[in-house]
Structure 1
């Protein structure tokens, strides 16, 4: 014996199967009754974050559009879900099918199975619930009630999202300021580094010149050592105190003995040949 409970369970099962079949059909949107005609002017979906736009009437369009309900309370809920501004006029606005669930439409299983052109109407209690992301800060007036408190779960969720968005914007602003500050410091460091590099190259050039001069001085000294003794070179370099070696004194004594006094002074004072003075020669000769 089949009870009423069993019959109801079978009916629910059949409805579920039919619903799954209909929802799996790619042309599901074509079976939805829309509120646009060939004479409807282009407009944008009323949901603030939706980018769908109605250009012209097309049966094969990927979205259909629905008018706002005439019930004031239900219309208020639609406005809150759409996140529109306070001066928004819902009389000429519409919401696309992207924001509704299949369960938001009335079902007539007999017509759906028999009549392939059957149009599914939106339920009188349906409200937009899908793809409502992308809320802007301008909707804060619709998030809070008159006391400034979120009294609806959806409003509280949006309120948290807006607060988080404000925090992220503030953080982004601070990061931009830090970035500009760091770039300014980097520019200063690069300028100082370039200045140090120029000084380094200048010092390196001077060292190369000094090295060349030092090598040249060494070459000159090598040439002088082939002609003069170390004591004579010290005299040529302008050193005040010079210690004459025995060889230097012997050479000077020989020159003095080969000529007279005037000849020796001529060589020393006029020709600037580095020679010991006459008193040094006399003292050296007396010590010998």
Structure 2
């Protein structure tokens, strides 16, 4: 599931399905690739080969013009310029609402809110220097309350993530056990099928032997095979032909019967 590699961006393919947002792979040019990595502001290690950046971080000038689509009134194909670099809604920059927009006409609202909260916190701390000690205590308490609420939300999210990971591990283990049991059942079904086929074959052979034993005194092997198989035509042996001619010579009525 591709997602955006920019810090704070919450775009991923399942969330943006059905919108105009697309995902661009990192360029192969080393200089442009380094510029992309710097714009992502990632502190952790990530694979450039498998990571992507969504179109919310590019302006319309970063894309090549699709003249064919414009002439035929078709939706344009979004192809980045070779030297295009993400410049919209980058951490530490001013959010751009007039550029490319998502389904709610805003880009990464959570990231923008966090940046704004940090700025207000910084301004409040700077303002505390010129404030009296009593007011300073009040302002510090409000700031600490905001930090406490943020830390509580983060801890709750961490607990939720741990619970989901534990549930995921349990479900994967259950799936593995079900696959093993499915394989065992398939082997049992196969063995039972082979056993049934063998029993049917033996039963058919016993029936043929019993019929041959009973009718062997009156009929030949070819006649018995015709009776068992239900075929009207057969390859008659010389003995069968001789017996038929003898019966025909004795009586026509006896031959027909």
Q: TM-score normalised to the size of structure 1?
A: 0.32
Radius of gyration: which is bigger?
A: 1
